[in-house]
């Protein structure tokens, strides 16, 4: 194919000529138009749509501050803790960079949790955005791995023993578990080899995957178009030029609009960094200011707050809890069997039920705790196929479904709180109930999502200028 230089008028400015030269060799203008100036987004976005751009902002903060931290950090079991202290005390503005990074880790999860919740209440995982949602869930998994590996690097007491507990969980997997946990650690205990490989993954491997997933997430989103609070597809109502009548260019309208969210977020972010970087021990645990000591176990080991809902579900699974879990599964699978005439599906459900019953006797509670903790994250991937509601947005769903979402959020917060607290008999029972509610929300969704009186969905978005 012959190369063709892009033509420009004879009186074109130097800037226009330069852009034409670039566009002949790289689709810069086409990319800007496709993702910004000619990407039409619904005109009824509300504050919930700030969190997508805020997630990109925090990712940039984490990458930039991480680069400066790596300049002075030593991934060595003998020097790691001292190098962090050196950054805090001796490196000019090192304390600020470290607090920006540590606060950014927690704020990343705050933003991502709110971004995911917005997707849930407005049905942003529904057709045709299933792949957008799957990429988003993969980003969430990747972010959890990045945070876990980065949490070990300060080499404090909670970093060391938290990693010891989590890595040992993999040993509960039948057959391959012990070898897998040994491979992850690189040694028989968490030590220098573990620190080095976690550092490598945290600094190089996982960020590369994370950036790739973010790019795929945005590309997939711009291919099908953004959802909106009404759940109306704006591409179904076009003007004579093929432009959505209810859409506006993302730039400059939403790029400027998002500056409001960025401004408010940065004020909150700066307040935490300068006045409460430890956030009472939730962002930076007090035990992590003590050097790691393999001979002294802290009285209570708990992960950082953003992992605690899932950690709480892990601890909730005891030998006594396996029976209620099996009954819970039996009720759901029994409902599927009774609700279908497909003999093959009925056989599969019956087989799963028998396999679960046998598994509860063959494997201990620790193994099932790991399965529950992993399943509590992986189940998000299946949300597009669990929701059978005839409408997308919560605005047009029955009032009862709004209460179900409310109970789910409250349960998630309670599980997070219990995961921070030391184990107790009452806390264990509440965690077990919360675990059943959490999984019940998803597994019973095929039924409750289509129950009740739904409101009619408008053909065009509802928009009030503000």
Which residues contribute to the annotated binding site for heme b? Answer: 101, 115, 202, 217
Contact 186, 194 (CB under 8 A): yes
Q: Rounded CA gap, 328 and 317, in Å?
A: 13
Dig out the tokens for 268 from the structure. Answer: 């909150």
Q: φ and ψ at 378, to 5 degrees? A: -65, -30
CA 112 to chain centre: 5
Q: Rounded CA gap, 375 and 315, in Å?
A: 14
How many C-beta atoms surround the C-beta of residue 10 within 10 A?
4
CA-based R_g, the chain, Å: 25
Annotated binding site for a ubiquinone: 222
Kindly give, in sequence order, each residue whose CB lies less than 8 Å from that of residue 212, ignoring residues fewer than 6 positions away: none
Q: Rounded CA gap, 307 and 126, in Å?
A: 27
Q: Rounded CA gap, 114 and 413, in Å?
A: 13
How many C-beta atoms surround the C-beta of residue 272 within 10 A?
19
Let me know the angle formed at the C-alpha of 190 by 184 and 191, rounded to the nearest 5 degrees. Answer: 110
**Distances in whole angstroms, Cα of residue 179 to Cα of each of 160, 170, 182, 199, 374:** 20, 9, 5, 21, 19
Annotated binding site: 101, 115, 202, 217, 222
Sign of the dihedral through C-alpha 123, 124, 130, 134: negative
Q: Rounded CA gap, 423 and 176, in Å?
A: 29
Q: Which residues pair with 248 in a beta bridge?
A: 41
């Amino acid at each position: 194919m012959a190369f063709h230089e892009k033509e420009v008028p004879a009186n074109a400015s130097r800037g226009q000529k330069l852009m034409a030269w670039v566009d002949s060799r790289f689709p810069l203008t086409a990319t800007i138009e496709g993702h910004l100036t000619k990407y039409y987004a619904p005109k009824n976005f509300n504050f919930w749509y700030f969190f997508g751009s805020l997630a990109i902002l925090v990712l940039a903060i984490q990458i930039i501050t991480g680069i400066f931290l790596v300049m002075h950090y030593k991934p060595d079991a003998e020097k790691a803790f001292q190098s962090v202290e050196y950054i805090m005390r001796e490196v000019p503005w090192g304390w600020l960079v470290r607090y920006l990074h540590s606060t950014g880790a927690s704020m990343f999860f705050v933003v991502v949790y709110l971004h995911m919740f917005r997707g849930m209440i407005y049905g942003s995982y529904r057709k045709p955005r299933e792949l957008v949602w799957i990429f988003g869930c993969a980003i969430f998994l990747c972010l959890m791995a990045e945070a876990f590996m980065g949490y070990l690097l300060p080499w404090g007491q909670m970093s060391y023993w938290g990693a010891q507990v989590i890595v040992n969980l993999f040993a509960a997997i039948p057959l391959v578990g012990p070898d897998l946990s040994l491979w992850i650690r690189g040694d028989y205990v968490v030590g220098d080899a573990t620190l080095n490989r976690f550092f490598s993954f945290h600094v190089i491997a996982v960020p590369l995957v994370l950036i790739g997933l973010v790019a795929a997430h945005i590309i997939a989103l711009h291919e099908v178009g953004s959802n909106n609070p009404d759940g109306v597809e704006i591409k179904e109502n076009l003007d004579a030029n093929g432009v959505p009548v209810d859409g506006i260019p993302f730039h400059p309208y939403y790029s400027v609009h998002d500056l409001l969210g960025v401004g408010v977020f940065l004020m909150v972010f700066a307040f935490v960094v300068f006045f409460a970087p430890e956030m009472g021990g939730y962002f930076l645990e007090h035990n992590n200011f003590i050097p790691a000591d393999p001979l002294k176990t802290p009285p209570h080991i708990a992960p950082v707050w953003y992992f605690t809902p899932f950690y709480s579900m892990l601890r909730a699974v005891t030998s006594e809890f396996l029976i209620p879990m099996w009954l819970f599964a039996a009720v759901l699978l029994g409902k599927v069997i009774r609700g279908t005439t497909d003999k093959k599906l009925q056989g599969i459900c019956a087989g799963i039920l028998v396999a679960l019953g046998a598994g509860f006797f063959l494997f201990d509670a620790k193994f099932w705790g790991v399965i529950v903790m992993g399943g509590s994250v992986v189940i998000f991937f299946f949300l597009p196929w669990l929701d059978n509601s005839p409408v997308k947005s919560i605005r047009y769903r029955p009032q009862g479904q709004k209460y179900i979402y409310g109970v789910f959020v409250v349960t998630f917060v309670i599980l997070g709180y219990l995961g921070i607290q030391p184990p107790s008999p009452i806390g264990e029972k509440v965690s077990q109930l919360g675990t059943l509610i959490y999984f019940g929300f998803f597994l019973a969704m095929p039924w409750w999502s289509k129950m009740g009186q739904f409101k009619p969905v408008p053909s065009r978005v509802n928009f009030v200028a503000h």
